[in-house]
A and B are shown apart, each in its own frame.
Chain A
């Protein structure tokens, strides 16, 4: 099947005509009239339609759906639809949105706004010996998972709609479908899913609505696989951002004030923007203690496809700004970026901008010092400086960054999710893990198996993870936000302890052998599995006030320091990352190989965003929606990495673990900027750090342009 879009960014659909010379006989076409319930794809709000209701807000907005038994004929049919439309001047950038070129949302185009205030920035600036301002920009980033989005749907004899496909969040899909198909039984099954990185968080609900609508209309199973170009052009991206900093410091570099203004481009519909913006806002100060802080943030509407979740969820944008800003501060004050971080980083007892007191497991200093030592940072910087003074093929640069990340949903998010997960002893003697938590390569099935096996004292081979299927597993919430190990792991640990107690009570002891479990299964599960389901319980000492936007924004933070060592070619200004060092506090590495996998993979994605990944938009459409032109790192681009794991246990995480999935994406980009500054003397404040920008900067320095 195919979805038909018109490719203009903003305007009204006047007429849809079906060319009679095309054999429409075998094709099934669905439009808005076929939607039995609400025409929406519900996420936080329900503003995004499933099919454009007479007007389009972005160029990839679906208008019609076509299914045909023959794939090639789908394309033929799609080419025989003529849509007449009236195009209006679209809003394509953050600046145009803020200037209200057109009103796309409310009276000001603002989807969501936050304000954090602590102390008085006014007083802080009065106290400051240095005041440094800077502006930092980041581009949209494409997930570029190797498996494109895909979904299948069919209608069962009893009228139930079944949807199976590539997704992170089966219950999100179910929630969206319930509003489109009210009164129908909806079953959602996760098929084996290739990498996602947030790209299969909200968009699969759209795809599922499309296939289900056609399945319902055609009464046949319908499958839709996006090809690469459509996937890149139509699905979500990391929010582009503009972040402005105004920072006050004492003479010796202690922070007195951080005044931060953040704007994210949300795209045409609100989707996940409020929560992406919230995480970005809460991480905007970096892992630093400053008595006077103001953070103002807005997400605005434009006529581009909605931006959405991507590993880090708003934090990489604002952490890029605060970390790159240290270079600006260093440039203007002559203070050393390493010493500036040492002076200001958070420690136990430090207070964050929301008033959160960091009570435990604060590893900013340890991460920084370990990384600096492993990379011989200070010696290498000196040696690079001397290389750069002499002739040679490259300029060398080493840069660092220090970041944090709060795993789990922001603020009261976990309380509202009220996730549930279960373990069960089956008649066959196997223990089942029942959760809607999805495997997409990150290794959740392994880690959850480990946690349950360890808690029960079993070999891992006696535990199996059931397929996430809304007909069979409880709603453990979405597989996002670095929450699986920490939140779901904890729930399963509690459920496992209850199972263990119950079995021990019945049999005297919990059996730990296959044989013993089999006997227990036969004895205790005659009427069905012995099932223990638990719900997330907020630790009482974690307190968040959503209305005031104050308190414990996250239960804990992970910390990472990164050092990027790179060379800039003196002829071509190409940047080659030679080595990367990371020191990462993960609380406890439940599976060290998987933890390293997350750090290595997140680091290279972060390097891609820093150096080459540039989703270019033209009239609201992605102009480079191919792997040829959207340039992600290859084997030859990725550096050798020294991955240092710090274990500073989090008492409320399972076995001390903190979530780790997103943290590694936060750090590379600002470290690249710092390293390129050492190599070239140029401070590049807009990602990606393309050779074109370095070339331009060098020409400006020499006072000439080509």
Chain B
């Protein structure tokens, strides 16, 4: 099997263009399982793990840039992330186990495009942008546009994820929530995973509301209909109920061996109800 291990971004882009079928590889928490089962079909591997410039969290104007190869453990423990993006830190602490958090990378997680990606709802409400790079240049892709379906991204053939940009929030939210509902207390796959932010007017009306759900559709979803409905309204119980009813405008969960559509929907609604209620 051919293994390419570039030491710099430039080398990576060159090798990738020479080996367009190569499989980008970072922490290996998903791909090593497939490799061991012999199901990578002898594809060449583009092992990105030695590209130091893509590791770590840096300040940028108006936000933070998280290198694609930054692990969930680094994000979980990073003081700037914990202060400014606590829902992301909480999500990283809920990914797999400590062993997986120490190896799995944010870029790898995004490129893997699982519908159950635990960090995705947080990235969606923080309105992160994915910075990609190829020999043709860079692109900044809004997080919600990053996914095309189950295990499918918007990346084109020659693109790699370089970093995830997190813009600082314009104001401190009145309330925030991250909630992962998995198959067990730890080391679990999500049945539903939610992240929410809300800002209130002085009078108590909702100024802005952002809420995202994972495992509820082929890709992570923001609740566009509920968000729009609630803007400017006071979160009365009838308004909250209407918003909860609007979930199905944006998500359509399924029955599988991990859970049921009914459960996923009702529990997501409960999380929303509890978040907006007092």
Contacts and interface: CB of A to CB of B under 8 A. Distances in A.
A629 B188 CA distance: 8
A332 to B, nearest CB: 28
Contacts of A705: 262
Contacts of B187: 634, 636
A692 interface: yes
Contact of B266 (A614, A631, A634, A695): A695
Interface stretch (A82-90, A486-494, A566-574): A566-574
Interface in A322-345: none
Contact of A636 (B38, B186, B261, B267): B186
Contacts of A572: 179, 181, 267, 270-271
Interface in B149-196: 179, 181, 183-189
A573 B185 contact: no
B186 A692 contact: no
B262 A692 contact: yes
A705 B188 CA distance: 26
B263 A696 contact: yes
B110 interface: no
Contacts of A706: 261-262, 265-266, 269
Given A616-B257, A635-B186, A637-B184, A75 B38 contact: yes
B188 A695 contact: no
Given A75-B38, A573-B267, A706-B266, A631 B183 contact: yes
A570 B269 CA distance: 12
A636 B188 CA distance: 11
Size category of the binding interface on chain B: 20 to 34
Contacts of A635: 186
A220 B82 CA distance: 59
A571 B270 contact: yes
A568 to B, nearest CB: 12
Contacts of B140: none
B257 A629 contact: yes
A633 B186 CA distance: 9
B258 interface: yes
Interface string B16-50: 00000000000000000000011000000000000
A616 B183 CA distance: 14
A623 interface: yes
B274 interface: yes
Contact of A576 (B179, B185, B259): B185
A119 to B, nearest CB: 45
Dominant SS among interface residues on chain A? loop
Interface in A629-683: 629, 631, 633-637
A43 B179 CA distance: 50
Given A692-B259, A695-B262, A571 B271 contact: yes
Nearest to A633: B184
Tell which of A571, A616, A624 has the most Cβ of chain B within 10 Å.
Answer: A571
B102 interface: no
B260 interface: yes
Interface residues of A, number: 30
A705 B187 CA distance: 30
Contacts of B266: 695, 699, 706
Contact of A72 (B38, B183, B257, B271): B38
B189 A636 contact: no
Contacts of A637: 184-186
B243 to A, nearest CB: 15
A545 B271 CA distance: 60
A705 B265 CA distance: 10
Given A75-B38, A571-B270, A572-B181, A628 B189 contact: yes
A699 B262 contact: yes
Given A572-B181, A692-B260, A631 B38 contact: no
**Central interface residue in B37, B189, B260, B263, by most chain A CB within 10 Å:** B263
A383 interface: no
Given A76-B38, A695-B262, A699-B262, A571 B274 contact: yes
Nearest to B265: A706
Interface in A610-634: 612, 614, 616, 623-624, 628-629, 631, 633-634
A221 interface: no
A76 B274 CA distance: 53
Given A72-B38, A572-B270, A631 B188 contact: yes
A637 B183 CA distance: 11
A691 interface: yes
Nearest to B261: A706
Nearest to B272: A571
A620 to B, nearest CB: 15
A228 to B, nearest CB: 10
B90 to A, nearest CB: 15
Nearest to B1: A72
Given A623-B257, A624-B257, A634 B184 contact: yes
Interface in A231-280: none
Nearest to A577: B185
A676 to B, nearest CB: 15
A634 B257 CA distance: 19
A573 B270 CA distance: 10
Contacts of A75: 38
Interface in B222-278: 257-263, 265-267, 269-271, 274
A692 B38 contact: no
Nearest to B38: A75
A570 B181 CA distance: 13
Contacts of A72: 38
A695 B262 CA distance: 8
Sorted nearest first, the 5 A-B pairs with minimum C-beta distance are: A636-B186, A636-B185, A571-B270, A692-B263, A616-B257
7 contacts: A75-B38, A629-B258, A691-B181, A691-B263, A692-B262, A705-B262, A706-B261
Given A72-B38, A634-B186, 4 more contacts: A571-B270, A628-B189, A695-B263, A695-B267
